[in-house]
Amino acid sequence: MNTGYNFAYLDEQTKRMLRRAILKAVAIPGYQVPFGSREMPLPYGWGTGGIQVTAAVIGADDTLKVIDQGADDTTNAVSIRRFFARTTGVATTEKTVEATVIQTRHRIPETPLSDGQIMVYQVPIPEPLRWLEPRETETRKMHALADYGAMHVKLYEDIARYGHIATTYDYPVLVNGRYLMRPSPIPKFDNPKMDHSPALQLFGAGREKRIYAVPPYTSVKSLDFEDHPFEVQRWDQACALCGSTESFLDEVVTDDKGGRMYVCSDSDYCGERQKDQMQ
């Protein structure tokens, strides 16, 4: 453990500022709280928002899991896990069930979350309306007025042109019946896991300086239409390693002749299933 810095790198004043922002975010589910994001020793885009949120909530007794694309051994997940191991000395784990804090980029674990767990999402662009309206001054007004017609029109236009809603990840959700929220770029496959989750879900966008939250057991509804209900991705294949037909599969190209195989993106879930099958 590196003792040259405060516990979890940030000074206590900064952590207090972050905790205030987090409390406000929890009190207004789905609302984006501006905060004084600090310049972290990792680049913007690598998860500086998630890292600040984790640093604000992590304690010496916590067990931390970090995933990127569902896997614990992707380079950025390794790097962030090392950062907290160095600056906090907390226990780390790859097992979803053992973790008290899970920082993630782009996935929610397949294993259901439980009471007392905290999910920390890394968020690149927090504003769900950003690609419809580039101005922050405008989108803040739209949220204040719950003026989300533009998003429904966008989804409707998808259906008119393609026959489907063509958004496949970072699929917009309505939180607690009030605020439109970006779930971060998780596949829409993961959206249903957010709804009434027993875990506290915190979202940190460092470069954009916003924190938002979904408290436990809060409604998270993916936008849809009565005649075009929300649906998630399905695969014709099962995982080539563990045989799961329930999980999100990554496509792995095996040669240059069109050969490919499908494996679970959640490395912990896949590994545990393989272990069970060995016994």
Partner 1 sequence: MYVAVKGGEKAIDNAHALMAQGRRGAESVPELSLEQISGQLSLAVERVMTEGSVYDRDLAALALKQAQGDAVEAIFLLRAYRTTLPRFGSSQPVETGSMAIRRRISAAFKDLPGGQVLGPTYDYTHRLLDFALAAEGGARAPVAENPEPVEAAMPRVTDVLGHQGLIEPSGEGAEVPGDLTRQPLNFPAGRDLRLQNLARADEGFVLALAYSSQRGYGNTHPFAGEIRMGEVAVELVPEELGFAIEIGEITLTECQMVNQFKGSKTVPPQFTRGYGLSFGHCERKAMAMALVDRSLRAEDLGELVSNPAQDQEFVLYHSDNVEASGFVQHLKLPHYVDFQSELEMIRRLRRENAEAAQ
Positions touching partner 1 (CB under 8 A) are: 5, 11, 34-41, 43-46, 48, 68-71, 73-76, 78-79, 82, 105-107, 124, 134-137, 162-164, 166, 168-170, 185-189, 207, 209-210, 233, 235, 240-241, 248-252, 254, 261, 263, 265, 267
Q: Tell the smallest beta-carbon distance from residue 135 to partner 1 (Å).
A: 6
Q: Which is nearer to partner 1, 41 or 198 (CB)?
A: 41
- The answer to whether residue 239 is catalytic is yes
Q: Which is nearer to partner 1, 31 or 35 (CB)?
A: 35
How would you list the strands of the sheet with 173-175, edge to edge? 179-181, 173-175, 220-222
Q: Tell the smallest beta-carbon distance from residue 177 to partner 1 (Å).
A: 26
Q: Tell the smallest beta-carbon distance from residue 36 to partner 1 (Å).
A: 5
Q: Tell the smallest beta-carbon distance from residue 158 to partner 1 (Å).
A: 10
Q: Which is nearer to partner 1, 115 or 253 (CB)?
A: 253
Closest-CA residue to 270 (of 92, 94, 104): 94
Closest-CA residue to 176 (of 146, 154, 132): 146
- The answer to whether residue 242 is catalytic is yes
> Which residue among 30, 49, 116, 258 is the active-site one?
30
Q: Which is nearer to partner 1, 218 or 269 (CB)?
A: 269
**Which residues is 6 bridged to in the sheet?**
9
- The answer to whether residue 264 is catalytic is yes
Q: Which is nearer to partner 1, 10 or 220 (CB)?
A: 10
Q: Tell the smallest beta-carbon distance from residue 115 to partner 1 (Å).
A: 27
Cβ atoms of residues 72 and 66 within 8 Å: yes
Residues 82 and 191: their CA atoms lie apart, in Å, by 29
Q: Which residue has the tokens 């599969």?
A: 249
Residues 55 and 32: their CA atoms lie apart, in Å, by 19
- The answer to whether residue 206 is catalytic is no
**Which residues is 252 bridged to in the sheet?**
261
Active-site residues, by number, are 30, 239, 242, 264, 270
